[in-house]
């Protein structure tokens, strides 16, 4: 079943990338396609409510390994994660399967940097949080489309594609 998700996801991604949304004033050959894959960290250990930086729990470790299987089917150029244990632990199996490092970003300052210029034309995985992933997607889309992810949802994948001045997105729920 998990591989079915990867196949469906790959088909959807291919279909979305083939859609011509090129603005009239931009030559098609000059358009760079940037794809952001955005996921929330996997399930965290909730045994200590005072721990602000918990590790993943057993389910989270399993989900992180499943994310690695899903992303093994996709071309990724670079991986980013916030500096929290749970996001790093979610990103690490994916990065190891790709032979990439996990680049750290500050989720509160991602818009204050040249992040979008650095990632232009790339396929980028960003591992974040329930309140940063939707904000990131909305920022790329330049509209308020997504609300914070409910705390009970750990298997949602946002795919945001930017082509020139146009952006599109969709969500896959892989619970």
The closest alpha carbon to 125, from 84, 166, 165, 88, belongs to: 88
Q: Which two tokens stand for residue 84?
A: 């929290």
- Mean pLDDT to the nearest integer, 125-136: 96
The domains located in the chain, with CATH, are 2-21+32-46+53-173 (3.40.50.1240)
Cα–Cα distance list, 9 to 13, 87, 112, 139 (Å): 6, 22, 31, 23
Q: What is the 3-state secondary structure (H, E, C) of 82-140?
A: CCCHHHHHHHHHHHHHHCCCCEECCCCCHHHCCHHHHCCCCEEEEEECCCCHHHHHHHH
Q: What is the pLDDT of residues 12-71, one digit of tens each?
A: 444 444 433 444 455 556 789 999 999 999 999 999 999 999 999 999 999 999 999 999
More confident residue, 22 or 171: 171
- Mean pLDDT to the nearest integer, 113-138: 94
Name the pTM for this structure: 0.84
Residue 136 pLDDT greater than 50, yes or no: yes
Do residues 172 and 38 touch, judged by C-beta distance below 8 A? no
């Amino acid at each position: 079943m998990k591989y079915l998700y990867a196949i469906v996801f790959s088909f959807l991604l291919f279909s979305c990338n083939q859609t011509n949304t090129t603005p009239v004033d931009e030559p098609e050959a000059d358009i760079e396609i940037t794809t952001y894959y955005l996921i929330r960290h996997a399930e965290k250990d909730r045994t200590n409510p005072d721990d602000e930086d918990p590790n993943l729990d057993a389910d989270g470790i399993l989900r992180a390994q499943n994310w690695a299987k899903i992303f093994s089917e996709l071309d990724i150029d670079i991986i980013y994660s916030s500096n929290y244990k749970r996001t790093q632990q979610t990103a690490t199996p994916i990065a190891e399967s790709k032979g990439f490092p996990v680049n750290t970003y500050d989720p509160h300052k991602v818009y204050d940097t040249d992040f979008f210029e650095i990632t232009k034309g790339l396929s980028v995985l960003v591992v974040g949080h329930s309140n940063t992933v939707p904000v990131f997607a909305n920022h790329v889309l330049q509209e308020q489309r997504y609300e914070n992810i409910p705390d009970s949802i750990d298997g949602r994948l946002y795919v945001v594609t930017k082509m020139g001045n146009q952006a599109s997105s969709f969500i896959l729920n892989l619970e």
